[in-house]
Amino acid sequence: MSTTIPHWVNNAEFAGSSTATAPVTNPATGETTGRVALAGIDDARAVIDAAAAAYPGWRDTSLAKRTAILFNFRELLNARKDELAAIITGEHGKVLSDALGEIGRGQEVVEFACGVPHLLKGGFTENASTNVDAHSSLQPLGPVAVISPFNFPAMVPMWFFPIAIATGNTVVLKPSEKDPSASLWLARLWAEAGLPPGVFNVLQGDKTAVDELLVNPGIKAVSFVGSTPIARHVYATGCAAGKRVQALGGAKNHAVVLPDADLDVAADAMINAGFGSAGERCMAISVAVAVGPIADEFVAKIAERAATIRTGDGTRDSDMGPLVTREHRDKVISYIDDGETDGAKIVVDGRNVSVDGADGGFWLGPTLIDHVTTDMSVYTDEIFGPVLAVVRVESYDDALRLVNANPYGNGTALFTNDGGAARRFQKEVEVGMVGINVAIPVPMAYYSFGGWKASLFGDTHAHGVEGVHFFTRTKAVTTRWLDPSHGGINLGFPQNA
């Protein structure tokens, strides 16, 4: 019998009153390994109320004590990250090394948050006016919600909750129902690190839980990562309810390869960025733009490398695991079918991949499609699978126009040995994160993560200093300590003197 994966409230598991559940599967076998609780409105409100009740005490906890708990969490995470990686592989399907890499990038944000006292320093001006001092402070918002996607069940939540907690907020995390167990593991680790009850909570569920987080007045801000249509809904609904919202949406990331580029380096990068984690990354390269006469040689080099990729169970010696669900795998295959029907050339066909894994796994091998045009669905849609499309253009200007015309603006890369072209590209391209000879330009934790255009709704990116600003609000205070003599009555507007 499969186990039920519950909510987490006040440092303990919480079953809730709803009896609705959804299956959780191991993508490498197709077997149901558990059932996740799906919150009803009453369950969601109980979790939110717990975060609200814990907020005053956590807000008033000293920075020294908050930071000590963050350091404890960081050390526990570092010592036991293999446990978390195994949970991620078992529910998402990515290979263990990739799961560990995900945890490592999330841990960088935890480490950044350990230094938050420096970033929470306000300003002070003595004697701004006669006997009047002025200062500012950064104060927390209150209970905040983090709604995270299936593709990074540890890293994406860690983009947000370490900074939210460090700055004095309480958190309700709503993970994907496809791979919910990582969130509970993280919650237990927070409790072990000494975080007080109610500061970090987990609300399992689907749209019912999400919508309650968006409209409930107890939640003061929402951080979201997912597809663009849902990001738009989250942003519009949350803002209408008076909340601060950052909603990171979808992507269609292009890598532009100029004729002077090292094609071996570029081909390696296309394999790593296109097929890592089975393409289920918002920063995956899904379009390779071959400029000028290099296309045939470039495509051949990618195809040669793709043939060496071992697809299989993430717990074995595989390079690439399965897709997260059978339904998603079948949807990705439909895009390959459509591309073939539309006249594109299937250079490497992952539909017939030989795998090291169970027959019931949700398998699809690396797929390389050449001669793709911008009107094909394999180009226009975010596929979120191991499918790399090659678009051929004549010039740098053609490539730049192609990238800038795309409605998404998450990440992009340029491969070249020409410093002038690189400098021009990083200035002119309308994308939030840019790599020069770096295919997956995910910023370090002390910089911000976020795209432009339809890849971001809201004004604030994730983590870094922008994350600190998102989870705090500024208060300006003006003070005057009077001498014993009375100043008298003056109804005029205050003047500096």
Question: Residues near 301 by Cβ (< 8 Å), separated by ≥ 6?
Answer: 263, 264, 266, 267
Whether 114 is a known active-site residue: answer no
- CB burial of residue 76 (10 Å; 0-12, 13-18, 19+): middle
Q: Which two tokens stand for residue 360?
A: 């019931």
| 105 token code pair | 């990038």
Name the 3-class secondary structure at 356.
strand
- Cα 273 to Cα 253, 276, 438, distances in angstroms: 10, 6, 9
Other Cβ atoms less than 10 A from the Cβ of 493: the count is 5
- Buried b / exposed e over 5-19, threshold 16 CB at 10 Å, is bbbbbbbeebebebe
Residue 331 CA from chain centroid, whole number: 22
Element (H, E) at 495: none
Helix (H, G, I), strand (E, B) or coil at 255: strand
Cα distance between residue 138 and residue 224, in whole Å: 23
Closest CA to 184 of 34, 6, 390: 6
Q: Which listed residue (114, 263, 270, 282) is catalytic? A: 282
User: What single DSSP character describes residue 471?
Assistant: T
Residue type, 487: G
Residues taking part in catalysis: 282
